[in-house]
A = this chain, B = another copy of it.
Amino acid sequence: MITRVSSLTRETLIGEGQPTVLIGERLNPAGKKGLTHALRSGNLEAVRKEAEAQARAGADILDISVSTFGVEEESLLPQVVKTVMAAVDTPLCLDSHNPAALEAALQVYKGKALINSVTGAEQSLARILPLVKAFGAGVVGLTQDDHGISADADRRLAVAHHIVERAAALGIPREDIVIDCLVLAVGADAKAGLATLEAIRKVRAELGVNVTLGASNISFGLPGRDVLNGAFVAMAIAAGATSLIVDVAKVLPAVLAADLLLGRDQRARRYIDAFRQHPRL
C-alpha cells in the first residue's frame, strides 16, 4: 500500500518497497525558543532557513506546526506554508489540532498534503476527517482517543481500526491514512519500546496501512539519545514502520543502514552515496 504526498513539483511515496520516508520534525515551536520567538514576531526568515536545512539533510516531507501560545494559527499557518513552499520543493505535512488553521493552510497549499493529525476521539474524527476528504489529503492517525495513550498495543490497534473505519465511511481511501503508533519514553516505562514495536507489527499485519512514529520520544530524559534513537529506528523499521517523524540529520545514518539491512537498497547505492557526500556520517 503506497501513500502519495506531493508538492507542486515533487512526489514522496510512503510504503513497502520504498526507502523509509523521513518527515522533518524541526519546524515546530515546541521546546524551541528561537523558532517560538520568530513565529510570535512574524519573522519568517528563521522558518525559511530551517526548511532549507532539513531539505538539505534529506527530509522527504516537512512537518509544519506553528502551535504555540500567542500566535493566531489560522493566519500564521498558511503564511508559514507559503514561506516554506517558496523555499523548498519538499512536500508538506500540516500539523495542527485547529481545523480552521488546517483549512486555511490547505487552501494555499499546492499539492497533496499530509494532515497531522486525527485521533480516535469523536471530536477529532468529526472535525478533521471531512477536511481530509474535501481536500483529497492524506492524514496521520494517532492511536490515542478520549482515554489518552494506552500502554497496551492491542488498544492502540483498536484505535487504528476505528480511525480507518471512520475514514472509509467518508470515502477516504485506506492508502491515504498513515497510522502513528505513538512512542513514549522508555526511561519512564521499561515496556514503552515493546508496546510501540508490537503496535507497529499488528497495525501492519491487520490493517496493512503505512505507519509512522515520533521516534525520538523513546529516549526522552536519558543520556546517549542518538544511540538509543538509532537502535530504536532500526527496530521500528524492521517491525514495519514505513516513515518516521524525526530530526532527519540525526537519524539519517541509522535509517540508511536499516533500509540497506532489510534489502531495500540494491547494491547499497543510497547508503554508499550518502557516505560519499557526508564522510562523517
Across the interface, name the chain B residue whose C-beta is closest to A265.
B190
The CA-CA distance from A218 to B263 in the complex, in Å, is 12
A241-276 vs B, CB cutoff 8 Å, 1 = contact: the mask equals 000000000000110111011110111100110010
Give the residues in chain B near A239, CB-CB below 8 Å.
Answer: 238
Cβ–Cβ contact B193 & A262, under 8 A: yes
Interface segment, one of A94-102, A133-141, A223-231: A223-231
- A257 touches which one: B190, B231, B258, B262 (CB < 8 A)? B231
Asked whether A191 is an interface residue with its Cβ less than 8 Å from the other chain, the reply is: yes
Asked whether A187 is an interface residue with its Cβ less than 8 Å from the other chain, the reply is: yes
Give the residues in chain B near A268, CB-CB below 8 Å.
Answer: 186-187, 190, 222
Give the residues in chain B near A256, CB-CB below 8 Å.
Answer: 227
Known contacts A234-B234, A235-B238, A275-B223; is A260 also within 8 Å of B194 by CB?
Answer: no
Asked whether A232 is an interface residue with its Cβ less than 8 Å from the other chain, the reply is: yes
Q: From residue 100 to 146 of chain A, which have CB atoms closer than 8 A to chain B? A: none
Cβ–Cβ contact A261 & B224, under 8 A: no
CB distance from A269 to the nearest CB of B (A): 10
Give the residues in chain B near A193, CB-CB below 8 Å.
Answer: 260-263
Asked whether A30 is an interface residue with its Cβ less than 8 Å from the other chain, the reply is: no
The CA-CA distance from A246 to B267 in the complex, in Å, is 25
The number of residues on chain A lying at the interface, defined by a beta carbon within 8 Å of a beta carbon of chain B, is: 38
Across the interface, name the chain B residue whose C-beta is closest to A195.
B263
Cβ–Cβ contact B231 & A261, under 8 A: yes
Give the residues in chain B near A258, CB-CB below 8 Å.
Answer: 231, 235
Asked whether A197 is an interface residue with its Cβ less than 8 Å from the other chain, the reply is: yes
Across the interface, name the chain B residue whose C-beta is closest to A274.
B224
Cβ–Cβ contact B230 & A261, under 8 A: no
Asked whether A8 is an interface residue with its Cβ less than 8 Å from the other chain, the reply is: no
Known contacts A268-B186, A272-B223; is A194 also within 8 Å of B281 by CB?
Answer: no
CB distance from A174 to the nearest CB of B (A): 26
Cβ–Cβ contact B227 & A261, under 8 A: no
Give the residues in chain B near A223, CB-CB below 8 Å.
Answer: 272, 275, 279
Cβ–Cβ contact B190 & A263, under 8 A: yes
* A223-B279, A224-B281 given; 16 more Cβ-contact pairs under 8 Å: A186-B260, A190-B263, A190-B267, A193-B262, A194-B263, A222-B268, A224-B253, A228-B257, A230-B230, A230-B234, A231-B234, A231-B261, A232-B261, A234-B235, A235-B235, A238-B239
